Amino acid sequence: MSSETLQRVPDWVKVHEWIKIPEWIKIPGWIKRPASRTTESSQRPVLRETAWLDGLRGVAAFLVVMNHYHLEWLSVFSDAPFGARVLKDYNPDYVYYYEEGTRFWGFWRLPILRLFTSSGNAQVSIFFILSGFVLSWRPIELARSNRLEELSRSLSSSIVRRWFRLYLPCFVMICIYVLEAWIVKAPGGPTSEELLAVFTRILPWASPFKTDYIIPLFSNPPINYPMWTIPFEFSGSMFVFAFILALSTVQDYRRRMCIIIFVSMYAFLDAFWNYWLFGVGLALADYVRQADGCANLSKRTTTLQTRVWVAVLVTGLVLMSYKSSSEDFTRPGYSWTAYVPLPSEYRANGSEGRLWQGWGAIGVVTSCCHLAPARRVLELRVIQYLGKISFMLYLSHLLVNSLVSLPLKERLYNGMCSRFTDGPFEDVYQTSAILNVFIYFILLLVSVLIAVCQAHILELVVDRPCTNFGKWINGKVVHGFRTEKQEPASHEDAALLPQQEVEQEERRGSDSVYQDRWNSLDGDHEIEQLRRAEAAEEVGADTYDELGKKDDDDDLSDVDEVGRLIEEDENGNADQSDSRAR
């Protein structure tokens, strides 16, 4: 196939890339062992200052997976906090029999430690704050610098592409889940009619005009219930885009921040917790931009302030460990929250946990903005890799549980244990704590490895093509079907894509803009003006003439270097300039 033929292939297809080079069988980069330290330092990509956001999103997605797996493996009592007492006899899975009055003293049920097994709802708050932060990272900078034309183009592209970015991978995964349920046909599972009915509920669930998101798409039958968050993610994204547009002409930082906080707190008091958290993410992005980045925030943080932010981080993790009330067990350590005055809407609709976990997530993200050691942990290669596959890991992990984990659990207990035959423990396995721990770690190792490999493949064959399709649609909407101009990655992808890849594509898009400007010039004079303008941008001046107008206190070495480079460029490329002028 010739290169000209490949260039005519729409950008969103890109099938030839992963067929020609089968990336889905490649070992992830963080697993490869470099040949030497020199090789490692030279090959490792340079991380941007916002790379830690990808890592935090990856950790949050992994903890959601752990929460769902533990609920399936250890029953609802995996959520019970340290010291909880069972309120009634319960035999959820024929492995564990819980008698009334039984206490849970496992150390892993302590605050912060229990985040590993039971923090799925808390991690959703992290997702929403991160989305608000990342979606507004570039637009808020464009608004701050009064580049309103670029801002309008950026927001227009974001609004067009966001629906495709979020929902297309979900549609693919729904089809996979329905196909899996239809093929397996587990005892007591959904019938064929119930599975077909799922497709009739997809459009209401994915409608951008719906305000009531409580649609039983994933409850009867239970098809990939984690996707209940996607409509909230979409509406929160639109909220951020509209909010930034409304604030685009507000150049005063304090006035702009007051407006953001006021609107976000209004949403908080009215129990619109997703808008509240998206607004907090927007406020944090503006705050960090005002401070010239997280690195400068950390440099300006004194020792005393560092201790305060560490305390905020720990407090946030404790609040994220919050457990709502349950009919099955008590919740020592959290029952006092029932006496705290709260906005009435939270207790009326049973979302009290969203309040406490939301404040905890705010504390965690805000403290990470100030604590460089916390950001360095989130920039580790394995955590960055989790951030890369986080969306598909979130959407696909229940497949592993139904196809691998639960059947493996049943086989292990059947092969290693016998059952009681009488009394209240009838049909309960005769097991021990050591055996339970052994089987648990086998399930954990097998399930996590398969889930990560599955997400790696799906990120290549589902997530990327869906993202590219959204870019292709936006390009056709803006430029029409006669052009093949590729749109650079924008911030609406960054909430689900690694920030480094987004920024690289933005730079490539910026380079293409300069190339278009070169191609449109007519004559040596215009070419010379553009070359001088580009040189001026390297040293921060608006035009080349302003280089001579800088204050005497400025360092003029950059100006001299630019002049030397321009002279060399003129001498070495005169023929090329003449041909372009002609």
Mean pLDDT of 425-451: 87
More confident site: 228 or 11: 228
pLDDT band at 414 (very low <50, low <70, confident <90, very high): confident
Length of the chain: 582
Owner of token pair 């009592």: 77
What gap in Å lies between CA 369 and CA 298, rounded to an integer? 8
pLDDT band at 327 (very low <50, low <70, confident <90, very high): confident
How much is the pLDDT for 214? 55
Q: Which of 76-80, 317-321, 398-402, 407-411 has the lowest mean pLDDT?
A: 76-80
Interacting residues of 108 by C-beta distance below 8 A, sequence separation 6+: 114, 116, 117
Q: Is 576 a residue whose pLDDT tops 50?
A: no
E-assigned strand segments in 63-135: none
Average pLDDT, the chain: 78
Mean pLDDT of 489-515: 49
Q: Which of 13-17, 164-168, 172-176, 478-482 has the lowest mean pLDDT?
A: 13-17
DSSP string, 439-478: HHHHHHHHHHHHHHHHHHHHIIIIIHHHHHHHHHHHHHHH
Mean pLDDT of 220-228: 77
pLDDT digits (tens, 9 = 90+) for 500-512: 454 454 554 444 4
What gap in Å lies between CA 421 and CA 186, rounded to an integer? 26
Mean pLDDT of 361-383: 96
How much is the pLDDT for 189? 65
- At position 107, the amino acid (one-letter code) is F
Rounded to two decimals, the pTM is 0.77
What gap in Å lies between CA 538 and CA 281, rounded to an integer? 31
pLDDT digits (tens, 9 = 90+) for 33-78: 444 444 444 455 677 788 999 999 999 999 999 999 998 888 778 8
pLDDT band at 554 (very low <50, low <70, confident <90, very high): very low
| Spatial contact of 159 and 241, defined as CB atoms under 8 Å apart | yes
Residue 291 tokens, joined: 């401070």
Q: Where are the domains of the chain?
A: 521-581
Mean pLDDT of 520-547: 46
Owner of token pair 């959204």: 470
How much is the pLDDT for 483? 52
Residue 65 tokens, joined: 């997976």
Interacting residues of 17 by C-beta distance below 8 A, sequence separation 6+: 23
How much is the pLDDT for 219? 59
pLDDT digits (tens, 9 = 90+) for 233-292: 999 999 999 999 999 999 999 999 999 999 999 999 999 999 999 999 999 999 999 999
Q: Is 440 a residue whose pLDDT tops 80?
A: yes
Q: Cα 164 vs. chain centroid, distance in angstroms? A: 16
Q: Is 308 a residue whose pLDDT tops 80?
A: yes
| Spatial contact of 158 and 495, defined as CB atoms under 8 Å apart | no
Q: Is 344 a residue whose pLDDT tops 90?
A: no
Instruction: Taking the CA atoms of 208, 211, 216 and 222 in sequence, report the sign of the dihedral they define.
Output: positive
- At position 354, the amino acid (one-letter code) is R
How much is the pLDDT for 561? 46
Run of H or E residues at 254:
helix 253-269
Q: Is 183 a residue whose pLDDT tops 90?
A: no
